[in-house]
Chain A
Amino acid sequence: MRARTDAQMRTEILPEKVQGTAPSFWARLRRDPIAFASLVFIIVVVVLAAVGPSLYSALASADLKDFRTYDYQDYANINSWPSAVHWLGADALGRDTLTRLLLGLRVSLAVAAFVQIINISLGATLGLLAGTLGGLVDFIVSRLADMLFAFPGLLLAILVSAVFGQAAQDLAGDIGRLLLVSGALALVSWPLMSRYVRAQTLSIREREYVLAARSIGTGERGIMWRHILPNVSGLIITAATLDISSVILSESVLSLLGLGIQAPGSSLGIMITQAIPGLKLNPFQVFVPSAMLTLLVLAFSFLGDGIRDALDPQTR
């Protein structure tokens, strides 16, 4: 006779109220004002970065449309303060700050997304496999992660994007650069993710409910999908969200060192570096990208903390 599925067992054993953790997770996240505000802020920023640039230029009258592109130089408004034409002013080359800010956000968010895709699909998967399969797989994954851990901070990302930057640019232009930067940053991110997931997997494997599942004949694969994965997914989401804030910062550092998107393209890091010489003339041009960057980084780290607390109320 085939063993009953977990879903059947759950409906038989558990009272109705306990079923499904999703609503209580959202309820808990909503009750955390800082995390919830951060989530709303992030959604607004993502929407703005996606549709903002075209909306902003569409709002301009026909003769001003050109003024609101990332590389148009409006010589009459160099280092200008906010005005009807340039809502957030213009930089030292007369380029519209709001457009550049929105495109810079696009870069930051795109890199963050790419890195997390790699981070989860590579780092989390390898961690899960290493924790479940053990043996040789575990040894190889762990040593590989250890090797990458030998490089402190952003050192490896700087090295990789410096050496391959020009080739990526020649191959696929700005997209190539972005992908390279994302890959380089993912190289720094995934070992940590895989280490977290591996540790959590190892600890879950020893729990009694896994033993119970095994004793009713659930195979290794079933245990991985049904018991371990759902229990590490919270950790994966939390770690990825927290990692986004450091990735956004790191991308800015790489841009600042000239390793990210190249001029005349825009990114928050480039905007800040290029505005620093004109700081005395127009501090607003430094303030806008700096404030945006800081808020975005804080929002992701508050959201990550909020998700962690909402998933596991015991940590509070």
Chain B
Amino acid sequence: MPPPHVSNRTMLQIILKRLGSLVFVLFSLTFITFLVGHLAPGDPIQGLLGNRHDPVRYAQLKHEYGLDLPIYEQYISYVGGLLHGDLGKSYKYAGRPVSDILKSGVPVSFELGIVALLMSALVGIPAGVLAALNRNRWPDRSIMFVMIALFSIPSFVLIPILRYFNFMAYDAGLPSLPVAGWGTPAQWVMPVFVLSAASAGYITRLTRSTMLDVLRQDYIRTAQSKGLPERIILVRHALRNGLLPVITVLGPSAAFVVTGAFVVESIFSIPGIGFLAVQSIGQRDYPVIQATTLLLGMAVVLMNLLTDVLYTFLDPRISLR
């Protein structure tokens, strides 16, 4: 059921428009990924056979991998396979499905990504609100200094800094964190911190600026002049409107997390799909990196879709976009 403020007609238009752009984005993702794989140098079938010269097996494998079809049919069967959860076959191990290789990594990356997104919202939103309420005073200045630093320091510079402090803590006999691996909560701390740092900074900045906008609005002054307590003005009037645009950062933040996942998983040896994909590059197992790109791209598409849906339902003014 659409919310009462959106008429059925506009709702339908919005949904159709969103669906159209969704289809376009999915087509772009799959088409470009397919194209890059198709243009990949070298003959994957000969690669699978190694040095053996075996025309029969060659033709057999070529057929099995569908590489004997015309290119458009290859693309169609690629997309058809994707719809069935088939991410293609490995170029390294004959006949082994890519999904088999990546299977163990998906939940790990998902966990890492979701936790990092949650953390960046849990830190970024309160920090932004606090900064806006204390505009140009020391809490604002110090919060923004830290958050802009977190936003601008690249993850692979942040990692050594954290590790160095960790070593110092270890040397001083203080509790310290494991530097690699995935599983125990202690192993989560550093990767999640690094992965959420940039988007936390981003969310803080956005929250601060939207809150400042809202605090300048007439209805806030009206509420103040009719003598409402500051706390009620904040909760009922400012936060409700100020936090709405923050939902839109879900999409961009997911994009930060996706690129960051490759770096963080590699450096912390976290067996997620980014880590597995980087390993597959050395073996020239291109379908693995193709599939990883697709999975991460789709994750961001889903996040954007979720953002759009949430926003349309929450903000009555958006109905005509």
- Residue numbers in B under 8 Å from A297 (CB-CB): 152, 154
Complex partner residue of A153 from B26, B29, B256, CB under 8 angstroms: B256
- Residue numbers in B under 8 Å from A249 (CB-CB): 154
Complex partner residue of A257 from B39, B40, B152, B262, CB under 8 angstroms: B262
Please report the total number of A residues contacting B with Cβ < 8 Å.
43
Binding site secondary structure of chain A: helix
- Residue numbers in B under 8 Å from A252 (CB-CB): 154, 156
Complex partner residue of A150 from B32, B262, B278, B282, CB under 8 angstroms: B32
Distance, CA A301 to CA B259, complexed state (A):
20
0 or 1 for each of A192-223: is its CB under 8 Å from B? (1 = yes): 00000000000000000000000000000000
CB distance from A89 to the nearest CB of B (A): 16
CB distance from A76 to the nearest CB of B (A): 25
Complex partner residue of A256 from B24, B37, B161, B266, CB under 8 angstroms: B266
- Residue numbers in B under 8 Å from A272 (CB-CB): 156-157, 160
Given A151-B29, A158-B293, A159-B290: A253 and B41 interface contact (C-beta under 8 Å):
no
User: A104 near B: Cβ within 8 Å?
Assistant: no
Please report the total number of B residues contacting A with Cβ < 8 Å.
47
- Residue numbers in B under 8 Å from A154 (CB-CB): 259, 262
0 or 1 for each of A240-258: is its CB under 8 Å from B? (1 = yes): 0000000001001100111
Given A163-B286, A258-B281, A276-B267: A156 and B153 interface contact (C-beta under 8 Å):
no
Within 8 A of B (CB), among A129-179: 146-156, 158-160, 162-167
- Residue numbers in A under 8 Å from B289 (CB-CB): 158-159, 162-163
Q: Find out whether the CB atom of A298 lies under 8 angstroms from the CB atom of B152.
A: yes
User: B237 near A: Cβ within 8 Å?
Assistant: no
User: B33 near A: Cβ within 8 Å?
Assistant: yes
User: B297 near A: Cβ within 8 Å?
Assistant: yes
Q: Find out whether the CB atom of A256 lies under 8 angstroms from the CB atom of B156.
A: yes
Within 8 A of A (CB), among B229-270: 254-256, 258-259, 262-263, 266-267
CB distance from A151 to the nearest CB of B (A): 6
Within 8 A of A (CB), among B159-184: 159-161, 163-164, 167
CB distance from A269 to the nearest CB of B (A): 7
Closest to B256 in A: A153
User: B296 near A: Cβ within 8 Å?
Assistant: yes
User: A186 near B: Cβ within 8 Å?
Assistant: no
Of the stretches A39-47, A112-120, A279-287, A308-316, the one at the interface is: A279-287
Distance, CA A146 to CA B286, complexed state (A):
25
Q: Find out whether the CB atom of A164 lies under 8 angstroms from the CB atom of B259.
A: no
Q: Find out whether the CB atom of A273 lies under 8 angstroms from the CB atom of B156.
A: yes
Distance, CA A232 to CA B255, complexed state (A):
29
User: A24 near B: Cβ within 8 Å?
Assistant: no
Complex partner residue of B153 from A256, A257, A294, CB under 8 angstroms: A294
Given A152-B259, A155-B259: A293 and B164 interface contact (C-beta under 8 Å):
no
User: A109 near B: Cβ within 8 Å?
Assistant: no
Q: Find out whether the CB atom of A253 lies under 8 angstroms from the CB atom of B259.
A: yes
Closest to A272 in B: B156
Distance, CA A273 to CA B201, complexed state (A):
24
Q: Find out whether the CB atom of B167 lies under 8 angstroms from the CB atom of A152.
A: no
CB distance from A111 to the nearest CB of B (A): 15
- Residue numbers in A under 8 Å from B300 (CB-CB): 152
Given A166-B284, A253-B263: A279 and B164 interface contact (C-beta under 8 Å):
yes
- Residue numbers in A under 8 Å from B163 (CB-CB): 276, 279
User: B189 near A: Cβ within 8 Å?
Assistant: no
Complex partner residue of B32 from A156, A162, A165, CB under 8 angstroms: A156
CB distance from A272 to the nearest CB of B (A): 6
Distance, CA A227 to CA B156, complexed state (A):
44
User: A125 near B: Cβ within 8 Å?
Assistant: no
Q: Find out whether the CB atom of B32 lies under 8 angstroms from the CB atom of A148.
A: yes
Distance, CA A153 to CA B296, complexed state (A):
10
Q: Find out whether the CB atom of B154 lies under 8 angstroms from the CB atom of A153.
A: no
- Residue numbers in A under 8 Å from B228 (CB-CB): none
CB distance from A2 to the nearest CB of B (A): 48
Given A272-B156, A279-B163: A164 and B258 interface contact (C-beta under 8 Å):
no
Q: Find out whether the CB atom of A257 lies under 8 angstroms from the CB atom of B278.
A: yes
CB distance from A251 to the nearest CB of B (A): 11
Closest to A269 in B: B156
Closest to A259 in B: B281
Q: Find out whether the CB atom of B32 lies under 8 angstroms from the CB atom of A147.
A: yes
Within 8 A of B (CB), among A9-66: none
Within 8 A of A (CB), among B29-50: 29, 31-33, 36-37, 39-42
User: B25 near A: Cβ within 8 Å?
Assistant: yes
- Residues of B in contact with A (beta carbons under 8 Å apart): 24-26, 28-29, 31-33, 36-37, 39-42, 152-154, 156-157, 159-161, 163-164, 167, 254-256, 258-259, 262-263, 266-267, 277-278, 281-282, 284, 286, 289-290, 293, 296-297, 300-301
A-B contact pairs, 9 of them (CB 8 A): A153-B259, A159-B290, A252-B156, A253-B259, A256-B156, A259-B281, A280-B167, A290-B157, A297-B152
Question: Knowing that A158-B262, A162-B289 are A-B contacts, what are 8 other residue pairs whose CB atoms are under 8 Å apart, sorted by A's residue number?
Answer: A150-B32, A155-B297, A159-B36, A166-B284, A290-B161, A293-B157, A294-B152, A297-B152
